[in-house]
């Protein structure tokens, strides 16, 4: 079996290379120890140095076990947390010390050694969750994106552990109504400011927050509490630190040898995704976290830099890299048919969420960064200019049905001088809050799964900083706490109403009812599934309407399910307290209309009351669901 994995690794077909390479605790006869295996084709005179041998390169020499460049040694009587590195002569004739590319644990920066850790035999308690897990196509998925180290901040001078974060995160997620949490990269990385996107250890759990079992415990507890966990993973590039993957055996083993493509725009080294061993390395790394840590999905970062050379469409498609993505998604879905693969892609590359067997890349979901950019630009405009930007709201539905889109308001939108969500809103203090409430309602109303970065619900005016905690003190101010309550209520409505998540990628369940009203900047659309028939109305200006006609497609009685202008959300309380009935004809040639009160910057959700025959013959009853 072991050499079968090696063959698949060399052919670019392995998603389990971690079972062969790295450092594994084994028992040979009556002797317990660790077997080390390293892939370094151009290395010579390879040895393992570590705590147990005084870091003496002459003591534990490795044996080359095949012509591909695989090295192996069994060393008895070792134990968890002992540090080690590989020492060898590289292709340039230099003796170097390198960390283990397949290490399961590592020293915390600024130290650079790998550490032994036995990853077997963790006691899981999430069987019930795994039995019912799927890819959520017809289920609500509202994702809370979190940076582990800064959600609550440091405890004294140390980072919180994975378990400590779970202690606080689980009750907060229950209170807030989210369904999933997405954690920013926790593969080992040296520079805090990279947020984990420039890693040195792709199988190594970030030691800032604990060991592999502690991360497993985090996921296990999240599952028991009813929350899915998604891992953010960066398969495009790696940190250029000399102790790690860069020029590993003296050659460009993991990166491109062509100097035009060796380095990314971030200064990191680009993975050569056309090399078969590199493909196996990365596919195995993602599968390792799915297999051993029970993650429910992988979010692949910077897919635009995979599908196009240097992320630029004008440079053409990177065929070797797109083949990697097809292979990755095909193999992951074959082994884990209930796990989600999510692409963070800013391009118009076709077929990102199309199945591999039909010529697509095979992802389940794609971030709709076009929606995000257009929407935030629109909300930043002064109301008098919004009529000229009308298409920024309508355009998303022109292409939405082409992919399975996910609507992100992520960490990228609240850093590097971009301003937080509330800072992006136009107007004065009160107006910014009103527009933020409108924006969040629009995100939940729009088809597509949802993602919000931690702190969006706090309406913070300060950008996120990885070195400090979120400003939780804001919840002592009613204006900010009202936004958190609005997010909670939107999550609860989203989860309760089938029209907002069932078959949401099927256009037959969506219909514009007001799309061309650029002069007033009012939008409205319906979404319906079965008895769940919802009307969403958005007033994008400060104009107040005591009576406003909105077209609908179905006749009947409607009641206001949600209004962002209610005082409990910090609004002016211009809401519809009584049910409204349809009348014939409507704006933009709709068959019917309802007349509603429409507050300044208000976002409304109305639900149609479905009449059902009662058990008594000839009578009817109202049903509100």
Q: What is the pLDDT of residues 513-537, one digit of tens each?
A: 999 999 999 999 999 998 899 999 9
301 is catalytic: yes
- Residue of 247, 249, 344, 403 with catalytic role: 344
**Residue 625: is its pLDDT beyond 50?**
no
Instruction: Give me the numbers of helices (H) and strands (E) for the chain, helices first please.
Output: 15, 31
CATH superfamily of 511-623: Golgi alpha-mannosidase II (2.60.40.1180)
372 contact partners, CB below 8 Å, separation of at least 6: 407, 408, 409, 410, 413
Q: Average per-residue pLDDT in the chain? A: 93
**How confident is residue 1, by pLDDT bands cut at 50, 70 and 90?**
low
Assign a CATH topology to domain 2-115.
Answer: Immunoglobulin-like (2.60.40)
CATH superfamily of 138-500: Glycosidases (3.20.20.80)
344-360: per-residue pLDDT in tens? 998 889 999 999 999 99
pLDDT at 265: 84
Q: Which two tokens stand for residue 91?
A: 């292709």
28-67: per-residue pLDDT in tens? 888 999 999 999 999 999 999 999 999 999 999 999 999 8
The two beta strands, 557-563 and 603-613, are antiparallel
pLDDT at 586: 87
Instruction: Kindly give the residue spans of alpha helices, DSSP state H, lying in 348-418.
Output: 369-380, 383-386, 391-394, 396-399
Interatomic CA distance for residues 391 and 46, integer angstroms: 62
Q: Which two tokens stand for residue 384?
A: 């008098």
**196 vs 230, more confident:** 230
Please tell me whether residue 333 adopts helix, strand or coil conformation.
helix
The ranges of the chain annotated as CATH 2.60.40.10 are 2-115
The ranges of the chain annotated as CATH 2.60.40.1180 are 511-623
534-568: per-residue pLDDT in tens? 999 999 999 999 999 999 999 999 999 999 999 99
- Residue of 232, 241, 296, 301 with catalytic role: 301
Q: Which two tokens stand for residue 356?
A: 């591999």
Neighbours of 190 (CB within 10 A): 19
Phi, psi (rounded to 5 degrees) for 355? -60, 150
Compute the average pLDDT of residues 91-105: 96
**410 vs 614, more confident:** 410
**How confident is residue 614, by pLDDT bands cut at 50, 70 and 90?**
low
344 is catalytic: yes
Q: Which two tokens stand for residue 496?
A: 């309760």
Neighbours of 345 (CB within 10 A): 24
Do 309 and 261 touch, CB atoms closer than 8 A? yes
Q: For the whole model, what pTM was predicted? A: 0.93
Please tell me whether residue 111 adopts helix, strand or coil conformation.
coil
The ranges of the chain annotated as CATH 3.20.20.80 are 138-500
241-259: per-residue pLDDT in tens? 999 999 999 999 999 998 8
Instruction: Kindly give the residue spans of alpha helices, DSSP state H, lying in 52-107.
Output: none
pLDDT at 156: 84
Burial zone of 326 (CB within 10 Å; 0-12 exposed, 13-18 middle, 19+ buried): middle
**How confident is residue 237, by pLDDT bands cut at 50, 70 and 90?**
very high
- Diameter over CA atoms, the chain: 94
């Amino acid at each position: 079996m072991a050499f079968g994995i090696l063959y698949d690794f060399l052919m670019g077909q392995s998603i389990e290379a971690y079972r062969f390479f790295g450092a594994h605790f084994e028992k040979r006869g009556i002797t317990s120890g660790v077997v080390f295996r390293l892939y370094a084709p151009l290395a010579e005179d390879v040895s393992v140095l570590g705590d147990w041998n005084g870091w003496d390169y002459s003591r534990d020499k490795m044996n080359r076990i095949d012509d591909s460049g695989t090295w192996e040694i069994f060393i008895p009587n070792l134990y968890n947390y002992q540090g080690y590195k590989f020492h060898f002569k590289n292709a340039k004739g230099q003796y170097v010390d390198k960390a283990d590319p397949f290490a399961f644990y590592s020293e915390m920066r600024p130290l650079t050694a790998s550490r032994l850790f036995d990853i077997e035999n963790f006691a899981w308690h999430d069987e019930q969750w795994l039995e019912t897990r799927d890819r959520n196509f017809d289920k609500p998925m509202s994702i809370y994106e979190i940076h582990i180290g800064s959600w609550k901040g440091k405890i004294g001078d140390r980072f919180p552990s994975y378990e400590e974060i779970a202690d606080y995160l689980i009750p907060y997620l229950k209170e807030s109504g989210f369904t999933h949490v997405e954690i920013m990269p926790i593969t080992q990385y040296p520079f805090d400011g990279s947020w984990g996107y420039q890693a040195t250890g792709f199988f190594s759990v970030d030691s800032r927050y604990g060991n592999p079992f502690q991360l497993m415990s985090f996921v296990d507890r999240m599952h028991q509490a009813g929350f899915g966990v998604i891992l953010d993973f960066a398969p495009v590039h790696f940190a250029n630190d000399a102790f790690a993957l860069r020029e590993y055996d003296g050659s460009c083993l993991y990166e491109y040898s062509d100097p035009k493509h060796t380095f990314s725009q971030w200064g990191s080294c680009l993975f050569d995704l056309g090399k078969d061993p590199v493909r196996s390395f990365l596919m195995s790394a993602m599968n390792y976290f799915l297999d051993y840590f029970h993650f429910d999905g992988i979010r692949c970062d910077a897919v635009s830099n995979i599908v196009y050379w240097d992320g630029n469409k004008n440079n053409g498609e990177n065929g070797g890299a797109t083949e990697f993505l097809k292979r990755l998604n095909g193999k992951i879905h074959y082994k884990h048919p209930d796990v989600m693969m999510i692409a963070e892609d800013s391009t118009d590359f076709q077929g990102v969420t199309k199945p591999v067997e039909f010529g697509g890349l095979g992802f389940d979901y794609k971030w709709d960064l076009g929606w995000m950019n257009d929407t935030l630009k629109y909300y930043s405009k002064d109301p008098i200019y919004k009529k000229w930007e009308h298409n920024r709201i309508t355009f998303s539905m022109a292409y939405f049905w082409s992919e399975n889109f996910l609507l992100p308001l992520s960490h990228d939108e609240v850093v590097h001088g971009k301003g937080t969500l509330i800072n992006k809103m136009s107007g004065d203090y009160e107006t910014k809050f009103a527009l933020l409430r409108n924006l969040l309602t629009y995100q939940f109303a729009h088809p597509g799964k949802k993602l919000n970065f931690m702190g969006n619900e706090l309406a913070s005016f300060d950008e996120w900083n990885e070195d400090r905690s979120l400003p939780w003190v804001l919840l002592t101010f009613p204006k900010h706490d009202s936004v958190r309550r609005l997010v909670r209520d939107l999550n609860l409505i989203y989860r309760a109403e089938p029209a907002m998540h069932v078959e949401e990628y099927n256009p037959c369940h969506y219909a514009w009812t007001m799309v061309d009203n650029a002069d007033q900047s009012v939008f409205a659309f319906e979404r319906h599934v079965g008895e769940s028939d919802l009307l969403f109305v958005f007033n994008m200006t400060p104009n107040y309407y005591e009576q406003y006609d909105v077209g609908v497609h179905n006749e009947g009685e409607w009641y206001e399910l949600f209004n962002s202008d209610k005082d409990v959300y910090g609004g002016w309380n211009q809401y519809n307290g009584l049910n409204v009935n349809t009348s014939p004809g409507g704006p933009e040639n709709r068959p019917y209309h309802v007349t509603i009160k429409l507050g300044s910057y208000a976002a409304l959700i109305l639900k149609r009351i479905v009449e059902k025959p009662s058990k008594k013959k000839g009578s009817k009853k109202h049903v509100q669901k």
